Each structure stands twice: as structure tokens, then as C-alpha cells.
A = this chain, B = another copy of it.
Amino acid sequence: MAQLFKKDEKFFNIFSEMTVHILEAAQLLQTMLGTPTVDQAPLAQKIKDLEHKGDALTHHVIDELNKTFITPIDREDIQRLCSALDDVIDLMDSVAKCIVLYKIKEPITAVPEICSVLLSQAKELGEAVSVLRNSDNVIAHCIEINRLENEADQHRQTAIAALFDHVKDPIEVIKRKEIIETLEAATDKAEDVANVLESIIVKNT
């Protein structure tokens, strides 16, 4: 199978940086959701900073594409991959904002579990991108990311069932339901990255 990127490839380095940001954001989110006694606002701010870095990298990719004559894979796939990675951070940022905005101060049933799945996906994304250079074994990581998404979906169901069983205040139900669903949507976005990676491999095989 062809080697898609050279060792010093600038696009490859941008994707790697993105996955480092995703991993860091997932770890921050886990702290926010697992130990709600911590001061949440500064952690949400750190995730917001990572989200801004993601936006900057996304625009940087466009600039680089416009300056580059020959690209290692199709130009639009480079943009699509970068944009899909950026979406994962965006959703994590949305969750962090919600936690602060809704003043969520106690753990929500099954939500730390979803976050832990997201953290596993973040690690897999990092590995999938790191092996993308040689287009080696990427599919195996993608399948694992999809499997993890199914796991997150199971936890979401548990979380929603517990929510309706134990929380009686409709306003609280609305707030917590949004956090559960947005967090699960982040795991969907990780799956979208996996799909983009798979389609890149499929096209370049």
C-alpha cells in the first residue's frame, strides 16, 4: 500500500496536532464531568482555547492547500479530514459550555461512562492518524472507533432512562438531556472522522 504522507509532511503534522488537541479536550472534559466539585469555568476555558486552536488549524489548512501545487492525497479530502477532526472538538466545547451555563454540580448517571468512551476514541483517533502516513492498519482503528460509538450509544440509553426515572423537575430533565445528547454527539463526530479516514484509504488503495 502506498505511503500517503512523507515523514515531514505539513498536512500530516496538522492532523496530528488536531488529534493531540482532541485528546487534551477529552481529558479536561472527563475531569469536568467526573468530579463536578472542581472549579469548572477555568477547565471550560481551556477547552475553548483548544477549540480556537482547532479553528485556526482548519483555516491554516486552507491556506496551505492554496499554496501547495501537488498534495499527497486529494485536496478536498485533506480539507474534509481537518474539518471532521475540528467538529469533534466543537462538540466537546459545546458540552463544556453547557456544564458551566446550566450550573451542573453533581454527576449525571452514565455520563462519566460516555466521556470515558470518548477518551478511548480520542486515543484511537490519534493512533489512526499516526499510522495514516503509511496507510497501515488505519481501518482497524476505524472499526474500533465505530465499536466505541455503539458503546457510547448504549450508555446514552442508560443515562436517558435513569434521567426520566430519577429526575422529576422538567427543567433539570431538559438541561441534563442536552448534556447527555451533546456528549454522545461528540462520539458520533469521532465516528465521522473514522468514516472520512476509511474513505481516504479506500480511494488511495
Contacts and interface: CB of A to CB of B under 8 A. Distances in A.
A201 B76 CA distance: 10
Interface stretch (A3-11, A111-119, A171-179): A171-179
Interface in A78-104: 79-80, 83, 97, 101-102
Contacts of A173: 170-171, 174
Interface string A144-169: 00100000000001001100100000
Determine how many copies of this chain the complex contains: 3
Given A83-B195, A139-B62, A203-B75, A164 B157 contact: no
A65 interface: yes
Nearest to A63: B139
Interface string A42-80: 000000000000010001001001100000000110011
Contact of A202 (B65, B102, B146, B203): B65
Interface residues of A, number: 33
A131 interface: no
A164 B175 contact: yes
